[in-house]
Amino acid sequence: MIIRHDNLIGGQWRPGFSYTANVNPSDLNDVIGEYAQADTGQVHEAIEAAQAASSAWAISGIQVRADALDKIGNEILVRREELGTLLAREEGKTKAEGIGEAVRAGNIFKFFAAECLRMNGETIPSVRPGITVEVTREPVGVVGIITPWNFPIAIPAWKVAPALAYGNCVVLKPAELVPGCAWALAEIISRSGIPAGVFNLVMGSGRIVGDGIVNHPGINAISFTGSQGVGAQIALSCANNLKKVQLEMGGKNPQIILDDADLNIAVELSVQSAFYSTGQRCTASSRLIVTEGIYQRFIEATIARMSKITVGHALTAGTDIGPVSSKSQLDQDLNYVDIAKSEGGRLQTGGERVKLATDGFYMAPALFTDTTTAMRINREEVFGPVASVIRVKDYEEALAIANDTPFGLSAGIATTSLKYASHFKRHSQAGMVMVNLPTAGVDYHVPFGGRKGSSYGPREQGTYAREFFTTVKTAYTLP
Ligand code: NAD
C-alpha cells in the first residue's frame, strides 16, 4: 500500500491539492510513498501560520528551545539506521552514506540546542558620559528555507536548526525529488514541543511553492541551497523586496596533486571526493590538477582504483556508488561526457550507463584526461560522477588553474610540502581549503560556504550561522 504524506501547516497535517510519487532511483519499480503538493493558497497559509507564531516564539525561553532541539537531535540519532535507509532509497546514496548524513543532521540539532544557551550580547561603554550601550541579537522573523535534493536531511537540518534556535519561525520547502527525509524531519519536529506554526512544511515545485515563498511579503529572510541559476533569481527578488538572503550554490572544485604528494593518499582522496555519493556533492572535486612528475603514476593508479569501485543498488551491501538521482541528472551527466569528448578530452574509463538487475539510473564513473581549463567540462558544474584531469608544469600553474573558475566553494591540495600547503591555504580563492583531505567532507560545527559564484550572503553552520538568522540591536540607556 502506498502511503500519502501531507504538508504541515500551523500544526495540522494538511492534504495537498495533488500528490507525487517518490520513486527510488536504484529501482524505478519501488515507490517510497506519495507526497503532497502545495498550491499557492497553502503556501500563503503556511507563511501566515508562521507569522502568527512569530512574536511568541521570538521571546520564548532559551531552555524551551534548547530542550526541543535536543529532543529532535536525539530522535534523529536513535533512528539513524531507518532515516539513513530512507535517504538512500529516495536519493540514491549508499546506505552507509545515508546513515552518516542522518547522524550529521542529529548532531547539528544537538549543536544548535547548545547554541540556544550561548545567546550572549555585548555591553560597551558609550563615548557620552553616563550612557550604556548594549548590543544584542534578535530573530529575523519568518524564514523561508528552500533546499536541494543531494543532502535530503543534512541541508534542511543545518538551516532549520539555527533558524529555530535563534527564535525564528520556518517555512521549509524541500526539493521535489526527496520529500521523504524532509517529511520525516517535519514529523519529528511536530512532536518536539515546538508550538504550532513555528515550523511548517510545504512540499511541491520550485515554480509554485518555492516562488510563492520567495515573493511573499510575510517572509523576512530566505536561506537557499541549490543551483546558481535559481539562486541568482532568488537574490534579485530578495533585493527588490529588501529581504535578507543567503545562497549556497554550485562548485567546480579543484584538487591539486603535486609531485611530492603521497601517491596513495592523492589517489584515494581524489577518487573519494570526485565519485563517491555519485559525484553529487557541491564540494565534489571535478577538476584534478596534476603536476608533470607524478602525472603518469597518478593516472594509472587512479584508473586502477576506479576499476575496484562497485556501482550498485544503494541498499545493497558492497555498493560503493549508488545511482544518479534522477533521469534528468543522468541525461545531464551523459551529455557532459559527450561534450568533453567533443572538446578533445580523452575518456580513460567509465562515462556510460550501466544496466543492473534493478532498473535504475546507474552510471560508471568517468575520468577524462587531456583536458584544458578553457573546456566546458572544466568550467561548468556537471554534478555527477565525472572528473577531468588537467596536466600542469608546477605548483604556480596549478594554483592559477585552480583559481581560474567562476566558482569558489572548496579546493584541495595533496602535497608533503609545508611551503606549498601554507601558500595554497592563503591563496586559494575558495571558501574551504583542504590539505591532504578530500574537497568533500566537512565538520558540522564550523562555518561552511564559498566565494565567487558558489555562495552569497553570510556563512552557514557553526556559530557563524547566527549572522544570517539574527539581526543586531544596539540599545542606549541613560539610567
Ligand atoms: P535547484 O536550484 O534546481 O533546486 C533547489 C531548490 O530550489 C529546490 O527545492 C527547487 O524546487 C527550488 N526552486 C527551483 N526553482 C525555484 C524558483 N524559481 N523559486 C524558488 N525555488 C525554486 O538545485 P538542485 O538541482 O535541487 O540541487 C543541485 C544544486 O545544488 C547544485 O548546483 C549543487 O552544487 C547545489 N548545492 C550546493 C550546496 C552548497 O552548500 N553550496 C549544497 C548542495 C547542493
pLDDT digits (tens, 9 = 90+) for 131-159: 999 999 999 999 999 999 999 999 999 99
Q: Which domains does the chain have, with CATH numbers?
A: 4-249+445-477 (3.40.605.10), 253-435 (3.40.309.10)
Instruction: Round to the nearest angstrom and report the end-to-end CA distance of the chain.
Output: 68
Radius of gyration of the chain, Cα coordinates, nearest whole angstrom: 23
Best mutation site among 91, 108, 145, 150 for ligand 1 pocket (most ligand atoms within 8 Å of CB): 150
The x, y and z cell numbers of residue 321, run together, are: 556508488
Q: What pLDDT sits at residue 363?
A: 98
Q: What pLDDT sits at residue 247?
A: 98
Paired with 479 in beta bridges are none
User: What are the residue numbers of the active site?
Assistant: 248, 282
The residue nearest atom 26 of ligand 1, judged by CA position, is 148
Pocket of ligand 1 (CB under 6 A): 146-151, 173, 175-176, 206-207, 210-211, 214, 225-227, 230, 233-234, 248-251, 282, 381, 383, 409, 454
Q: What pLDDT sits at residue 419?
A: 98
Asked if 411 and 428 count as a contact pair (C-beta separation under 8 A), the reply is yes
> Ligand 1 mean position to 150 CA, how many Å?
9
pLDDT digits (tens, 9 = 90+) for 53-83: 999 999 999 999 999 999 999 999 999 999 9
Which residue type sits at 450? G
Q: What pLDDT sits at residue 1?
A: 85
Section 437-457 average pLDDT? 97
What is the enclosing helix (H) or strand (E) of 22?
A: strand 18-24
Section 470-475 average pLDDT? 98
pLDDT digits (tens, 9 = 90+) for 175-205: 999 999 999 999 999 999 999 999 999 999 9
Q: Using alpha carbons only, what angle is made at residue 452 by residues 446 and 453, rounded to the nearest 5 degrees?
A: 100
The residue nearest atom 37 of ligand 1, judged by CA position, is 249
Nearest in space to 140 (alpha carbons), one of 80, 81, 57 = 57
Nearest in space to 220 (alpha carbons), one of 245, 200, 195 = 245
Sheet with 122-125, side-by-side order of all strands: 122-125, 132-139, 470-477
Confidence bin at 295 (pLDDT 50/70/90)? very high
For residue 280, pLDDT beyond 90? yes
pLDDT digits (tens, 9 = 90+) for 1-58: 899 999 999 999 999 999 999 999 999 999 999 999 999 999 999 999 999 999 999 9
The residue nearest atom 43 of ligand 1, judged by CA position, is 282
